[in-house]
Structure 1
Amino acid sequence: MNARTCRTFLVPVLLTLLMLAGPAVGQEEEAATSPLAAAITARLAEAGDELQAFYAVRGQRPAWEDSRTVAAFAAALHTLGGDGLTPGDYRPDALVAGYRQAHGEEGDLERQARFDLHASRVLLTALRHLQRGKLDPRDIDPDWEIPIVAPALDMAALSRAVDAQRFEQAFAEVRPAYAPYERLRTGLARYRNIERLGGWPRLPARERALRPGDLDDDVVMLRERLAVIGELEVMAAATAAFPGAERAAPDPRRYDEGLAAAVRRFQRRHLLEADGIVGARTRAALNVPVDERIDQIRLNLERARWLLHGLPDAFVLVDIAGYQISYFRPDGEIWRSRIVVGRPYRRTPSLRSEITHFTVNPTWTIPPTILREDVLPAIRQDLGYLWRERIQVLSPSGEPLDPWEVDWERPGNIMLRQAAGPQNALGRVAIRFPNDHLVYLHDTPAQGLFAREQRAFSSGCIRVQGVLEFAQLLFDDTDSGRDIEALIDAGQTRNVPLAEPVPLILHYWTVHAGADGELAFRPDIYQRDEALLQALDRPLVL
């Protein structure tokens, strides 16, 4: 191919590429210096930092001059319901009307500049809500200590998305990029579809529980209820549609083993005793209306937006309402176990910290609240409580005191410390992490509590089943070169550091999205859902 042929071939191709690439440099400069751009620039001094950054990457060019761009954005805003947000908060229809007013016959530069800035502000607000939540968790929970570490928006990429009208893609790029969030979104769509189809039947109140083997009309409703959510995959045959089926099909009124297995699965997912008996608590969980389950999913999507950003490859996640600890190890494996958390009146806090060291063979200095509310009443009834529990009475400076010489009605400024050993409330090891609530993970002599489905029995700290195995994994994964059993057998009370800290998150979820896509609804043990839902549904002021 000679030079002329090359030029003949390449020139049309280059022109085509330039046309596809968007406005030429001169056109961009012209747009940036247009009267509308100047009007926008004049108003930017009053705008926030994000809005200024957005227009800075555009060279102050208007973003919303094309009606098709506004229409595409309004359509995309309607999809935010899939994330549990309220599309009406962002007033998509008002955006379309606002564009017509600003760019219609009665429009002027001032009105167009205000509209351009407003539409951009709505876009940035929607993205921020998708990325890190509509609400500030500290406004809902005064004890909230987890920093929200969502990354800054990529303004250059966002500007290109606006010009190309790729709004749903822009939304997808800022959503938390973790499987639990997508599973919750999928679950929300599924339960909304159930709502559109009419929801599920409500089981009538009854004095006697439904038990496997029963023959009862309510069993038919129970089958229908579980079938709606896919818990019971096979219903009894419709004998009217299939003549002769009545001879082969099971009686739908019979509470058979297949139905009992489905009930037990439902009970396990709702943290109920998995006995297959439909008593008052199981019936109450079955009768929660579908719209309330939808709201529960929505507010847990909001909690996910608060948390699911910047997670390290290896970390420990404590699921408070789910009574479970998960250690995401550096090799990709996940170690899970049951936990006991704080009672409703002694709540385990939400926080983010790092595990720094262990205390082996710990003593336990009884915290003031437990001392005042639990231990002092027991001592006043029977001073022998101190000897049975191996508790030593100490002065504020740590000097031993004679229990017989203490006025237990007005004990003053004393400390009570339980000696290390099998009876110690912390067991054989405590796992420490800096926090203002003085909580930690620990062993326990009360191992029987782990057999319960709902395990809110502690005074705020977290008891861990299999804590020695967990501690050894932390030692191994941080190359700490320690043997937890050997340290305990040595019998000394000592602090043992990890070679490197391990990130830790304590968080509260009342819906868990399993790897199988099924949603597990947990009791709201700390009564946090209602306040969060009210705040989430409060109209947004833009």
Structure 2
Amino acid sequence: MNYLRAGWILLIIIGIAACGRKKGQPKQQQIVQDPRQLNEVVAAQVAERLEYIAGNDGLMEDSVAAFRLSALQYAYAQHQGAAIWSDNGRMHKSVFSLLDWIKNADNYGLPPARYHKAALEGVQQQLDRSRKDAALWAKMDVLLTDAFVKMASDLHYGIAPRDSITLRSDSAYSDTVLAGFLKEALRQGDVSATLQQREPVHTGYVELKEGIQLFKSQYGGKQWDTLPQTYTDTLQFRRLLAMRLMAAGLYDTTGMPATDTAGLKNAVKAFQREFNIYPDGVAGKRTIQTLNKQPEDWLLQAGLNMDRWRKFPDSLPERYLLVNIPAFRLNVMERDTMVLESRVIVGTPRTRTPVLNSVMTNFVLYPYWRVPYSIVFKEMLPQIKKNVGYLAEKNLEVVDHRGNVVSPDTINWSRLSKNYFPYVLRQMDGLDNSLGVMKFNFMNKYSVYLHDTNARGLFSNSNRALSHGCVRVQQWDSLAMYMVRADPRPAIRDSVRTWLDNEQQKQYTMHKRLPIYIRYFTAELRDGKMQFYEDVYGEDKKLMTYFR
């Protein structure tokens, strides 16, 4: 290439950001008779396409947004404005490995369309017919460069933006770092090693990736008709239901009459168990909605949760506690091994358990419960105004701003409201306390904590989004014993047991604090099978907007 020509093209690339003018589509065809001239003409076409992106709000020719214009500009500046993925009409080896990654992006929880899959396939077909079209080579080059830098970033940081609880201190790869990744991939002639090194190493992420492959092996390529949304127990509905369950491999009608209601019910139960629905064998509203989801819908749900794992830091503490809200489960992990598990009850959709990071510091035996004002005003004050005896029924005492207990009969409750309430309602300790026998404290701005409950029968519910926001723990006693395990005082376990037996109000401060993460995962690999959970707070729906 003529060096003056190369310098001119480079100046165009650098000046694009300052231009930003609205621009029509770049040339869609430019035939070069001498293939030895391709590099020079392709470089000019690349510059034109970067100018197009700058002038069209970051959108590329296929209407998919570019990852970051400055990253593209820097990558081409490092190549003196020349094509990155080809040389005078010959593709570099790394093109084919990147195209394979794009084609199979959903294996990594990423949507292939985000990486210009359709446009690149179209360019490939056209290049098979016309290898001398500089416009096609340039189009392919810019699409591939954007796909690479976008995928390198997405594999590490995720597609969705950072949120208030993201633990990463860094937020994005710089243009220089991305260009370095690109240079390394081109040197190796294969993008795989470079991209794989961007992925998280967390066990939950790795298992989800494995689960996607298992799910694909079971349901990949399958499609099925949707069932009527309104359940009707008719022969026609049962036939449609049987066909749907057959498509999933859960029901074999060979030799079975259409009236085989027992077999059909067992097949519905099998489906419900697989997708975490109470297995009553009835194809009700939720079961039908779940049956109507296609395999690609489930793969997208798995991808959303891989994105959530990408928001974690590169490494987690040696030991930590993880609450998974949609799974209604708590796990304590040590060196990627689960050492304790418990069912939990979380907040309702109206009173959500917040996603957060913190450190558990202590637990309290037979605690008081200071009733949050939101509960006081919405639920309790109207009842108290009707009957002041409500306080005694709920084991509540009234405390003024000085910490003194006040007799309820001395208060004019009719004058109190949300705008004027100079008291605190406190539920006294004991087995009837809503917090149960034990409360686990950790710093957070939401005033939530983990605790026992006096309504322990609710742990048998399949849907356990039932609290006002705190997390109720079924295995609270096992969790307490785990927390005292690291205490150097050998008798402390016996002391805690004695305090419990004697119903003593005590606080135990942990010798070694326990990091706690409350998270929202609606898919995971569990016991060798993909498990999907109901999107109880609608967070998956919000996240999907970044994937479609």
- Fold match by TM threshold 0.5: yes
The answer to whether residue 471 in structure 2 is matched with residue 462 in structure 1 is: yes
Alignment counterpart, residue 511 of structure 2, candidates 499, 503, 507: 499
2:261 corresponds in structure 1 to: 255
Q: Output one character per residue of 1:331-381: Cα deviation in whole Å (capped at 9) or x when no partner.
A: 934422211100111111111222121122211111111111112122122
2:154 corresponds in structure 1 to: 129
Shift of 1:40: 8.9
1:162 corresponds in structure 2 to: 186
CA gap 1:223/1:474 in 2 versus in 1, 3 angstroms: farther
The answer to whether residue 414 in structure 2 is matched with residue 409 in structure 1 is: yes
Equivalent residues of 1:480, 1:498 under 8 A apart: no
Q: Output one character per residue of 1:81-138: Cα deviation in whole Å (capped at 9) or x when no partner.
A: 333433333336768979x9xx98989xxx99x9989965653322111112111143
- The one-letter code of the counterpart of 2:157 is R
1:373 corresponds in structure 2 to: 378
**How is 1:478-493 mapped onto 2 (pairs within 5 angstroms)?**
481=490, 482-483=492-493, 484-493=496-505
Equivalent residues of 2:324, 2:518 under 8 A apart: yes
Equivalent residues of 2:10, 2:81 under 8 A apart: no
1:520 corresponds in structure 2 to: 531
Equivalent residues of 1:300, 1:511 under 8 A apart: yes
CA gap 1:53/1:42 in 2 versus in 1, 3 angstroms: closer
- Of 268-277 and 148-157, deviating more is 148-157
CA gap 1:117/1:463 in 2 versus in 1, 3 angstroms: same
2:248 corresponds in structure 1 to: 229
Unaligned runs of 5+ in 1: 1-33, 139-143, 210-215, 238-248, 538-542
Equivalent residues of 1:318, 1:507 under 8 A apart: yes
Shift of 1:260: 4.2
For residue 277 of structure 2, give the secondary structure of its aligned residue in structure 1. Answer: coil
1:272 corresponds in structure 2 to: 277
1:336 corresponds in structure 2 to: 341
CA gap 1:269/1:124 in 2 versus in 1, 3 angstroms: same
Shift of 1:467: 0.8
2:391 corresponds in structure 1 to: 386
CA gap 1:201/1:37 in 2 versus in 1, 3 angstroms: same
CA gap 1:185/1:451 in 2 versus in 1, 3 angstroms: same
Q: Output one character per residue of 1:151-203: Cα deviation in whole Å (capped at 9) or x when no partner.
A: 98787666322212221332222223345434544555645984743325526
Equivalent residues of 2:345, 2:464 under 8 A apart: yes
Q: Output one character per residue of 1:296-332: Cα deviation in whole Å (capped at 9) or x when no partner.
A: 3333332233247422332211110111111123593
- Of 43-52 and 499-508, deviating more is 43-52
Equivalent residues of 1:77, 1:92 under 8 A apart: yes
Equivalent residues of 2:398, 2:407 under 8 A apart: yes
1:439 corresponds in structure 2 to: 448
CA distance in 2 between counterparts of 1:281 and 1:126 reads 35
CA distance in 1 between counterparts of 2:229 and 2:398 reads 56
- The one-letter code of the counterpart of 1:146 is T
2:47 corresponds in structure 1 to: none
1:418 corresponds in structure 2 to: 427
- The one-letter code of the counterpart of 1:500 is K
Equivalent residues of 1:443, 1:463 under 8 A apart: yes
* Aligned-residue RMSD, C-alpha: 4.3
Equivalent residues of 1:510, 1:523 under 8 A apart: yes
CA gap 1:76/1:295 in 2 versus in 1, 3 angstroms: closer
Shift of 1:221: 4.0
- The one-letter code of the counterpart of 2:531 is A
Equivalent residues of 1:329, 1:335 under 8 A apart: no
Shift of 1:414: 1.1
CA gap 1:375/1:205 in 2 versus in 1, 3 angstroms: closer
- Of 360-369 and 477-486, deviating more is 477-486
CA distance in 2 between counterparts of 1:479 and 1:55 reads 60
CA distance in 2 between counterparts of 1:89 and 1:177 reads 23
CA gap 1:256/1:208 in 2 versus in 1, 3 angstroms: closer
CA distance in 2 between counterparts of 1:478 and 1:313 reads 17
Q: Output one character per residue of 1:38-78: Cα deviation in whole Å (capped at 9) or x when no partner.
A: 94999499899988998999999995564523733345333
For residue 453 of structure 1, give the secondary structure of its aligned residue in structure 2. Answer: coil
Q: Output one character per residue of 1:456-512: Cα deviation in whole Å (capped at 9) or x when no partner.
A: 110000001121112212221565753232333354433312111212111112233
Shift of 1:255: 2.9
For residue 174 of structure 1, give the secondary structure of its aligned residue in structure 2. Answer: coil
Equivalent residues of 1:329, 1:477 under 8 A apart: no
CA distance in 1 between counterparts of 2:77 and 2:361 reads 43
- TM-score, normalised relative to structure 1: 0.74
**How is 1:206-355 mapped onto 2 (pairs within 5 angstroms)?**
206-208=231-233, 218-232=237-251, 235-237=252-254, 249-251=255-257, 253-256=259-262, 260-307=265-312, 309-329=314-334, 332-355=337-360
Equivalent residues of 2:159, 2:546 under 8 A apart: no
Equivalent residues of 1:429, 1:442 under 8 A apart: yes
Equivalent residues of 2:398, 2:406 under 8 A apart: yes
Equivalent residues of 1:36, 1:62 under 8 A apart: no
Equivalent residues of 1:343, 1:457 under 8 A apart: yes
2:21 corresponds in structure 1 to: none
For residue 310 of structure 2, give the secondary structure of its aligned residue in structure 1. Answer: helix
CA distance in 1 between counterparts of 2:499 and 2:434 reads 19
Equivalent residues of 1:320, 1:509 under 8 A apart: yes
Alignment counterpart, residue 541 of structure 2, candidates 520, 524, 530: 530
CA distance in 1 between counterparts of 2:402 and 2:515 reads 34
For residue 315 of structure 1, give the secondary structure of its aligned residue in structure 2. Answer: strand
2:103 corresponds in structure 1 to: 78
For residue 487 of structure 1, give the secondary structure of its aligned residue in structure 2. Answer: helix
The answer to whether residue 98 in structure 2 is matched with residue 89 in structure 1 is: no
**How is 1:465-476 mapped onto 2 (pairs within 5 angstroms)?**
465-476=474-485
**What count of residue pairs does the alignment treat as equivalent?**
475
CA distance in 2 between counterparts of 1:55 and 1:472 reads 59
- The one-letter code of the counterpart of 2:167 is P
For residue 197 of structure 2, give the secondary structure of its aligned residue in structure 1. Answer: helix
- Of 467-476 and 450-459, deviating more is 467-476
CA distance in 2 between counterparts of 1:398 and 1:462 reads 27
CA distance in 2 between counterparts of 1:472 and 1:45 reads 63
CA distance in 2 between counterparts of 1:106 and 1:331 reads 52
Equivalent residues of 2:229, 2:285 under 8 A apart: no
1:146 corresponds in structure 2 to: 166
Aligned identity (percent) is 24
CA gap 1:208/1:170 in 2 versus in 1, 3 angstroms: same
- TM-score, normalised relative to structure 2: 0.73
- The one-letter code of the counterpart of 2:359 is E
CA gap 1:478/1:56 in 2 versus in 1, 3 angstroms: farther
CA distance in 2 between counterparts of 1:157 and 1:466 reads 47
Equivalent residues of 1:219, 1:254 under 8 A apart: no
Equivalent residues of 1:203, 1:287 under 8 A apart: no
2:30 corresponds in structure 1 to: none
For residue 535 of structure 1, give the secondary structure of its aligned residue in structure 2. Answer: coil
Shift of 1:521: 2.9
Unaligned runs of 5+ in 2: 18-67
CA distance in 2 between counterparts of 1:424 and 1:401 reads 20
